[in-house]
Amino acid sequence: MFSKSDAHPRLIELNSLLPFLKAMVIVPLTLLPIINPLSGAPVFMATAGGHPQAVQKLAKQVAINCFTVLVVSMLVGTYVLEFFGISLPIVRLAGGLLVAATGWRMLNSHDDDDVRTAVAHSQPSPLSEADIVRRSFFPITFPLTTGPGSIAAAIALGAKLPSTPALYVVGAFVALLGAAITAVVIYGVYRHSAALLARLGEVGTLVMMRLAAFILLCIGIEIMWTGWTELNHLAN
């Protein structure tokens, strides 16, 4: 049993860690709905083919690429915007517009052929190492997984990092952990995309993609509204 004198320092220590834990969780909670690897699973399978080793290697490489893109966007993106004289509300407004446009395009797209190809793919087609590296970045990493919307959201998250050097290092480390969690989720979804699509079936996959597209549209409008509100606040 702990005495009250032992419990008090532990409570203080836990309270001091809560902001960092909250910041670490905010990164994947903000980025994953925009990235939405579930909606990209059919296209991933159609690109990777049915060979299990190729799917595993490709999913791993895509996760590494996404981690790199998100980390660079969070840590360097703000300085790039300052260099070109672009304000953060403009980035939110433009990024929200891109996210909403992507969701609208997904809602109105006729990608049944891609889904049928991914679900019914039964011919294993092993990929070479060169093909895995080439396909892992374009089109799977960019723009399918980490598109302009998720990059804009990552830049917005990076803009919230403290300016004090010591706190910036801690904040950057927390951002790295959040990006790592996001990359692990992306890897898990893509790695098991074949089993996921087989369980959902063609109709279930189409329903899931349409629902994800609608959520993405709502997220884009919310980001646009935040940027517009900030612009009006600056104007006044």
Which is more confident, 124 or 154?
A: 154
Directed axis angle between helix 148-158 and helix 88-108, to 10°?
A: 150
Which is more confident, 225 or 7?
A: 225
Mean pLDDT of the chain: 79
pTM, rounded to two decimals: 0.75
H helix and E strand count, the chain: 9, 0
Q: Residue 58 to residues 63, 108, 139, 196, 224: CA-CA distances in angstroms?
A: 9, 29, 12, 17, 33
Directed axis angle between helix 193-235 and helix 148-158, to 10°?
A: 60
Q: Residue 14 to residues 22, 27, 165: CA-CA distances in angstroms?
A: 12, 20, 23
Beta carbons of 28 and 151 less than 8 angstroms apart:
no
pLDDT at 55: 87
pLDDT at 2: 47
Longest CA–CA span in the chain (Å) reads: 66
C-beta neighbour count of 86 within 10 angstroms? 14
Instruction: Summarize pLDDT for 50-77 with one digit per residue, the tens.
Output: 678 888 899 999 999 999 999 999 999 9
Instruction: Summarize pLDDT for 145-197 with one digit per residue, the tens.
Output: 997 778 888 998 888 888 788 888 888 899 999 999 999 999 999 999 888 87
